[in-house]
Amino acid sequence: MAPKADSPRYRVWQCELCAFSYDEAKGMPEEGIAPGTRWEDIPEDWICPDCATSKRDFQMREAG
């Protein structure tokens, strides 16, 4: 079944330094970020859990 036209399209953001990916659909419950949390709703002082770089070093990439 195809997603509804009005359903939210989640994005995936990838760290340019270590290739860690943040998937909005999955969130990061272990970090206190609920599934469905948009990238723009993550605090600006959040850092990559793998290499400790800032949000500005992430780029949006096409989701699967």
20-48 pLDDT tens trace: 999 999 999 999 999 999 999 999 999 99
How many angstroms separate the CA atoms of 29 and 4, rounded? 26
Q: What is the CATH code of the structural domain delimited by 12-61?
A: 2.20.28.10
What was the pLDDT predicted at 18?
Answer: 98
Q: Which residue has the higher pLDDT, 62 or 46?
A: 46
Share of the chain above pLDDT 90, in %: 80
- 18: phi > 0 → left, psi -120 to 50 → alpha, else beta; which? alpha
Q: Full-prediction pTM beyond 0.85?
A: no
As a whole number, the mean pLDDT across the chain is 90
